[in-house]
Amino acid sequence: MAQFQELQQAIIDGKAPVSKELTEKMLKEGIRPGEFFPKAIIPAMDEVGRRMRECEFFIPEVLIAARAARASSDILRPLLVGEDAMSSAGTVVCGTVKGDLHDIGKNIVAMMLESAGFKIIDLGVDVTPEKIVEAVRANHANIVALSALLTTTMVNMKSVVEALAAAGLRDKVKIMVGGAPVTDAWAHSIGADGYGKDAPAAVELARQLATA
Amino acid sequence: MMSSRERVRLALEHQEPDCVPLDLGATTVTGMHVDTVYRLRQALDLDAPGTPVKVIEPFQMLGEIKPDLLNALAIDTALVSGTGTAFGFPLEGWKEWQTFGGTPALVPAGFNTQPEPNGDLLLYPQGDRSAPASGRMPQGGFYFDVIVRQEPFKEEDLRVEDNLEEFSVLSDQETEHYRRRAEELYTQTDKALVLNLGALSLGNISRIPGPGLKCPRGIRDVEEWYISLGTRRDHIHKIFERQTEINLVNLEKIHAAVGNRATVAYLSGTDFGAQNGPFVSPLTYRNLFLPFHKQVNEWVHRNTTWKTFIHSCGSVWALVEDFIAAGFDILNPVQCSAAHMNPFDLKKKFGNRVTFWGGGVDTQSTLPFGSPQEVCEEVRERIRAFGPGGGFVFNAVHNVQALVPVENVLAMYRTAREYGTYPLRLESAA
């Protein structure tokens, strides 16, 4: 449908006001809130991810597009109830680990996951293992996504893996990790389930882990 | 034996000196965390136990690299920097302090902290505890992160000067400081002097929040700043234009004071690279940054003998050609672990046009977590990659962090000097 395509384009081009207006207009015309994600927002952000992977989009363009996606999804989320309730792709508890205050990368991953249909519980920065365990329990999360920028804090990812195991939740959640010093080998060594080298890779990984 | 200054000069002219020059601490991006400086000084028997180390850069908590340490490691460079800090208080009036790691340190008088209930430490702009805090060190942490204090703004109220408040023409007192420091180091040591002018950087994301300002105005949120590079291009262009005008006045003043005693000028510390690719597109760099970088580099090359130094972490392969076109002579920190940053490829493609300053050993994995033997092997590989024909000054990739084993640091510099003797032994070149 042309309108969904128009909305997709507005998101990719990062036109937040257009994205907001179009969403409002389409809702007024009777389009059901549940249709926007599969028909416009998710495909738009998939395209943004593709462009990022292929070095057509960089941090500013991704942030601008994510903001445009949010301009639409902020209107839609409160309406996604009853028959419009979206079947969520999964619930992700995310955060930057204890001792680390860096959140740009984590925020981009969270925004992309949200636009891909995941429910995001973002615990922010400097998050203790206990807080993560609590949030997983309270929200019945099936994925934990951890970020670290520093060599001095990436070790705290391991504490989270251990805390989830100690709480008896390890087999209920998949754990994915990312951040500048983090590697695939590191993810394996601490017993995480996967490593996302960038935001599009994190979305792909979360999709795989959610269905595994 | 060749003097350190001559060694660095030859390397920067893409000739082979007697050995690869070594740097430690000549810039705030090639230094060392205060905890590690302390342990290193102790290991080398340079101080009695408990002797504090000065924190000369409170944002990254870098320790002072004094001449005795430079000599103990056979370092060829020395830092010439101003009296200011990112948090707006000067490097003066030293007082005792202890890091979370237990290191006895000396910090400037304006380094006033306040603990939070969770144990985090807050730091204040210009040392003023009555102002909103601008830095936070998490409990048990090693550095301060800048606190974003973005006041809500309306598009029509944005003023170029709001993002320029922290940039001003240097006082005569400050240029006199540069003059004295340079003269002292030039006459009393044979080190190559590096002018630390990273504060001139355009759009340095660690400074955008205005950590030295009590009440920062304009665009101060990091994400909003990145967004602005796309959506408020004219506005950013005007900020850079005005900042460059101020920078040129300051360069002229510093040159009048220091003259050609300095070998290198560190001019840009803005990070353009993330782990997998540039933060911004090459087109954005070309349109928004390059014209101003070019203007400053041209001034330096026209008026001084200084070589110009750009620091950018991450994967910048796609931007190196543009850095060279902008007139930079030196690229740092050469983060070989990032995507497309293979040391041999970098040398082959750009090696005769830019000097690699750094890249000596990985600071995200090998140096903190490897064995001395692994450090040694990586250093040898990097010398084989970057060393031939000069154009290489040895340093780790970025500052040596806290918790790095001292034996790894010692292995790094020992190997660099032993193995970095020209003619290089390239038999096991990859």
User: Which of B147, B231, B280, B397 to mutate against chain A (most A CBs within 10 Å)?
Assistant: B231
Strand A91-96 and strand A194-195: the pairing is: unpaired
What is the per-residue pLDDT for A87? 65
Q: How many residues does chain B have?
A: 430
Alpha-helical segments (H) within A29-154: 33-36, 42-53, 59-76, 104-115, 129-139
A106 shares a domain with A70: no
A130 shares a domain with A178: yes
Q: How many folded domains does chain B comprise?
A: 1
- The CATH number assigned to the domain holding A163 equals 3.40.50.280
Q: How far is B227 from chain A (nearest CA, A)?
A: 5
Q: How many folded domains does chain A comprise?
A: 2
Within 8 A by CB and 6+ apart from A168, the residues are: none
- The CATH number assigned to the domain holding A12 equals 1.10.1240.10
d(CA A105, CA A110) in angstroms, rounded, equals: 9
Which long-range contacts link A189-194 to residues 24+ away (Cβ below 8 Å)?
A190/A157, A190/A158, A190/A161, A191/A158, A191/A161, A192/A146, A192/A157, A192/A161
User: Which of A13, A18, A101, A127 to mutate against chain B (most B CBs within 10 Å)?
Assistant: A101
Q: Does B140 touch chain A (CB under 8 A)?
A: yes
A188 shares a domain with A98: yes
Contact call for B140 and A198, based on CB within 8 A:
no
Q: Scanning every residue of chain A, which has its alpha carbon at the shortest distance from the alpha carbon of B135?
A: A101
Q: How far is B123 from chain A (nearest CA, A)?
A: 15
- Regions of chain B where pLDDT drops below 50: 429-430
Residue found under tokens 């992309």: A112
**Among the three residues A40, A55, A84, which one is the final residue of a domain in this structure?**
A84
Asked if residue B21 is part of any domain, the answer here is yes
- Regions of chain A where pLDDT drops below 70: 83-84, 86-87
Chain B partners within 8 Å of A105 (Cβ):
274
A95 shares a domain with A78: no
A80 shares a domain with A95: no
**Among the three residues A84, A103, A136, which one is the final residue of a domain in this structure?**
A84
Contact call for A63 and B274, based on CB within 8 A:
no
A205 shares a domain with A101: yes
Contact call for B227 and A67, based on CB within 8 A:
yes
A120 shares a domain with A58: no
User: Which of A51, A64, A67, A152 to mutate against chain B (most B CBs within 10 Å)?
Assistant: A152
- The CATH number assigned to the domain holding B373 equals 3.20.20.210
Number of H helices, E strands in chain A: 10, 5
Burial of B153 (0-12, 13-18, 19+ CB in 10 A): middle
Task: Give the domain extent around A126.
Answer: 91-211
Asked if residue B129 is part of any domain, the answer here is no
A103 shares a domain with A76: no
Asked if residue B169 is part of any domain, the answer here is yes
Type of residue at B313? C
Contact call for A58 and B403, based on CB within 8 A:
no
d(CA B13, CA B159) in angstroms, rounded, equals: 43
Asked if residue B98 is part of any domain, the answer here is no
Residue B379 CB-half CA count within 13 A: 28
Asked if residue B133 is part of any domain, the answer here is no
Q: Are B87 and B134 in contact (CB under 8 A)?
A: yes
Asked if residue B360 is part of any domain, the answer here is yes
Q: Is the overall model pTM greater than 0.80, yes or no?
A: yes
- Token pair for residue A194? 């996967």
Task: Give the domain extent around B178.
Answer: 4-92+150-419
Asked if residue B101 is part of any domain, the answer here is no
d(CA B86, CA B81) in angstroms, rounded, equals: 13
Chain A partners within 8 Å of B402 (Cβ):
152
Which of A61, A152, A180 lies at the smallest CB-CB distance from B230? Answer: A61
Asked if residue B185 is part of any domain, the answer here is yes
Contact call for A101 and B230, based on CB within 8 A:
no
What is the per-residue pLDDT for B200? 84
Within 8 A by CB and 6+ apart from B94, the residues are: B54, B106, B107, B108, B109
What is the per-residue pLDDT for A13? 96
Residue B205: closest CA among B326, B67, B86: B86
